[in-house]
Amino acid sequence: MKPRLLCLLLWGCAPVEINQNQGSTPGVGDDTGVGAGPDSGDSGAADPAFEDRMDIDRLLGHLDALQAIADGQGGTRLAGGEGYRLSADYVQQQLEDAGFVVEVQPFSWSGWRENGRPAVESTEGSHWDWGDDILTLTGSAAGDVTGPLVLIDPTLPPGPENSSTSGCEAGDFSEMPAGAIALIQRGGCTFATKVALAEAAGAGAVLIFNEGQTGRQGVVEGTLDSASYPGIPAVGASFALGETLAAALALGPVEARVFVDAETSATEAVNLWADLPGDRDQLVVVGGHLDSVAAGAGINDNGSGVALVLELALQIKDQGIVPSNSLRFAFWGAEEAGLIGSFHYVATLEEAELNRHLANLNFDMVASPNGGRFVYDGDGSADLGGSPAPVGSDLIEDLLTGWLDAGDLSWKNTAFDGRSDYGPFIWAGIPAGGLFSGAEGRLTGAEATAWGGEAGQPYDACYHAPCDSSDNIDPVLFLELSRAAAHATWALAGIDSLGTPGPTALAPGLRPLAGLHADLPPDAERACHPASTR
Q: What are phi and psi of 208, to 5 degrees?
A: -105, 120
What does DSSP say about strands 283-289 and 326-332: parallel, antiparallel, or unpaired? parallel
Closest CA to 388 of 379, 397, 375: 379
Closest CA to 6 of 476, 400, 424, 531: 476
What is the Cα–Cα distance from 146 to 122, expressed in whole angstroms? 9
Q: Exposure of 240 by Cβ count < 10 A (0-12 exposed, 13-18 middle, 19+ buried)?
A: middle
What is the Cα–Cα distance from 439 to 459, expressed in whole angstroms? 5
Residues whose CB falls within 8 Å of the CB of residue 491, separated by 6 or more in sequence, listed in order: 37, 38, 40, 42, 43, 46, 399
What is the Cα–Cα distance from 179 to 183, expressed in whole angstroms? 13
Active site members: 335
Q: Which amino acid is at 250?
A: A
What is the Cα–Cα distance from 158 to 183, expressed in whole angstroms? 15
SS3 364: coil
> Is the bond into 360 cis (omega within 30 degrees of 0)?
no
Q: How far is CA 433 from the centre of its chain?
A: 14
